[in-house]
Amino acid sequence: MSSFHFLLHLTIFLLVFHQKFSFPSKQTTLFLPLKTTLGRPPLTFARNSKLSSAAATNKLGFHHNVTLTVSLSVGSPPQNVTMVLDTGSELSWLHCKKIPNLNSVFTPELSKSYIHIPCASPICKTRTRDLLVPASCEPNNKLCHVAVSYADASSIEGTLAYENFVIGSSVRPGFLFGCMDSGFSSNSDEDSKATGLMGMNRGSLSFVSQMGFPKFSYCISGFDSSGVLLLGDTRFSWLKTLNYTPLIQISDPLPYFDRVAYTVQLEGIKVGNKMLDLPRSAFLPDHTGAGQTMVDSGTQFTFLMGPVYTALRNEFLQQTREVLRVFEDPNFVFQEPMDLCYQVDESPGTIFSDLPRVSLMFQGAEMSVSGERLLYQVPEMNKGSDSVYCFTFGNSDLLGIEAFVIGHHHQQNVWMEFDLVKSRVGFAEIRCDIAGQQLEMGL
C-alpha cells in the first residue's frame, strides 16, 4: 500500500557505529538523532558486497519535510541527495531529470558506477514482484521501466538501475533504485524539497531488505522537536520492556491487502476509560483484504475506516463537549479526511490536559494518544481571535483508501521497533528527547 503524505519537518544526523560485517548475515547499527521543524511532506544491491569499515564515527544529515528525509551521497563521484524515509513504500527512487522548482536531482551521466537494468534482465521481473504496478519495457531504450503511485494521486516513473549508495564514509555498491524522469505531484512545492524517496517496507526492493538489517527503530519527540532513528539490532538497559504485536501475514494475494506493509491487528479503541462499542469484525480485514492496519512513517496522522472513525468521532465529541468548542463550518474539512475541528484560544495548554486519552488496542500491545497529540493547529487558519485545531484522526473513506493507517504523529514519544526477523512491531512509551540524551547524540 502506498503511503500518505502529510507530515512534520525533521533534521537528523546519522551516526554509524562500525564493526566488521557483511550483508546480509551481519549488520552495523545506524543511529540517527533528529530535529523537527514544522512543514507538510511530499507524497508514500549486489549480494557479495561489503560496507567498508572505518575507525571514526560517520554522520549523515536527515531532514523531515512531511516525511523523514535522509541526507546521503549516491554515485561515483558522490552526489548529495535527500530521500524521504517511508515505511509505507518499497521502491527507493531519485529524481534524475531537472524540472522547474525541483531543488535537487541525481545526474546518472556524471557517475561512473551507474548501471542501467535492461528489461530483458531477470532482475527486472524477479526483484519488482512486490510492486503494485508491474515493471515493463521502455520501447525506445529497452530498459526496465518502473512506476509508483500514491493515495493522493501523485505518481512517478522511470527506470530501474544499480548505483553506489554512500552512508557516511561507507559505500554500499550495487543498490537497486528507480531513476525517475517523469510524474505528477499533487503538492509540487513540498515534493520539490527532496531528491527522492527511501522505501522501508518489507518488499524485496526496499532499503531495509537490500541492506539486510534484522530490525530498525525510531523515536520522535513531542517535546523539543528531537528524536532518533536506529537501523540494526539495539538493546539498551534504560529502555522499557517493549510490548510486541505480531505482523499479520496473508499468503494468498488479495486485491486490497498490501502483503509487504507493516500490518498489525487493531482490536479496539478506548476514549478515556470507555471502549468503543464495536464488534471485533469492524477491525478485521474482509475477504478482499480491505481493512488491514498499517504502521506508516510516511503518513502524518491516523486514518480509520468509516464506521470505526464515526464511533470514535462521536465518543470524543461527547466526552469533550464541556472542554472544546466545535468549529461550525460545514464546508471546511482539513486535508480532506479530517472533518472534526475546534476553535481554540491562543493559550490551549490547559485544554490539552483535560482531553480524554485515546488508546489504540493492538494484539498484545497498546498505543495511547493524549494531550496535544490529539489536536493539530491548522496553519494560517483562524476564527476571529481563535485558532482552528483539528482532531488528529481522520476518515480513511474520505481518502479513498481501504485501510487503517497509524501515522507518525501518534507515534511521538513512543519507541517504535520493527523486528523483521521475528515479524513483529514493539511499542514502549518514552521521552524521546531523553532517549537521545541517553544515546549521547548531542541533541
Please tell me the least confidently modeled range out of 96-100, 151-155, 169-173, 208-212: 151-155
What per-residue confidence (pLDDT) applies to 97?
Answer: 84
407 and 300 in contact (C-beta within 8 Å)?
yes
Tell how strand 325-326 and strand 403-406 pair up: unpaired
* Exposure on the CB side of residue 372, measured as CA atoms within 13 A: 10
Query: Does 400 score more than 90 pLDDT?
Result: no
Name the residue among 1, 301, 45, 303 with its Cα closest to residue 173: 45
User: Cα dihedral sign for 221, 222, 226, 231?
Assistant: positive
| CA distance linking residue 247 with residue 425, whole number of Å | 7
How would you write 233-274 as a 3-class SS string?
CCCCCCCCCCEEEECCCCCCCCCCCCCCCCEECEEEEEECCE
Between residues 371 and 351, which one has the greater pLDDT? 371
First to last CA, the chain: 34
Assess contact for 104 and 195: CB atoms under 8 A. Answer: yes
C-alpha cell at 359: 488508546
Q: Where in the chain is the domain with CATH 2.40.70.10?
A: 9-213, 243-438
Mean pLDDT of the chain: 80
Sign, CA dihedral 38-41-45-47, equals: positive
User: 242: closest CA among 428, 430, 435?
Assistant: 428
Q: Identify the CATH number of the domain defined by range 9-213.
A: 2.40.70.10
List the single range of 52-56, 262-266, 387-391, 419-423 with lowest mean pLDDT.
52-56
pLDDT tens, position by position, 106-122: 999 999 999 999 999 99
Q: Where are the alpha helices (DSSP H) in 148-198?
A: 188-191
Distance CA(236)–CA(224), nearest Å, equals: 22
Question: Considering only CA atoms, which of 103, 81, 101 is closest in space to residue 93?
Answer: 81
Q: Is 130 tagged catalytic?
A: no
Residue whose C-alpha is closest to residue 318's, from 280, 274, 278: 274
pLDDT, one tens digit per residue, over 272-307 is 999 999 999 999 999 999 999 999 988 889 999 999
Highest mean pLDDT among 11-20, 151-160, 346-355: 151-160
pTM of the shown model? 0.82
Predicted confidence band of residue 428 (pLDDT cuts 50, 70, 90): very high
Say how far apart CA 289 and CA 283 lie, in whole Å: 12
- Overall average pLDDT of the 121-147 stretch: 91
What per-residue confidence (pLDDT) applies to 51? 27
Q: How far is CA 30 from the centre of its chain?
A: 17
Contacts of 201 (CB under 8 A, 6+ apart): 87, 88, 89, 90, 258, 260, 261, 262
Supply the CATH classification number for the domain 243-438. 2.40.70.10
Question: Which of 48-57, 67-76, 206-215, 265-274 has the least mean pLDDT?
Answer: 48-57
pLDDT bucket at 222, cuts 50 / 70 / 90: confident
Q: Is residue 86 flagged as an active site residue? A: yes
For residue 247, the model assigns a pLDDT of: 97
Question: Within 13 Å of residue 388, how many CA atoms lie on the same side as its CB?
Answer: 17
From the candidates 152, 296, 419, 433, give the one annotated as an active-site residue: 296
- Comparison of pLDDT for 191 and 400, the residue scoring more: 400
Closest CA to 4 of 160, 216, 215, 152: 152
| 27 neighbors 21 (Cβ within 8 angstroms) | yes
| Stretch 395-403: mean pLDDT | 89
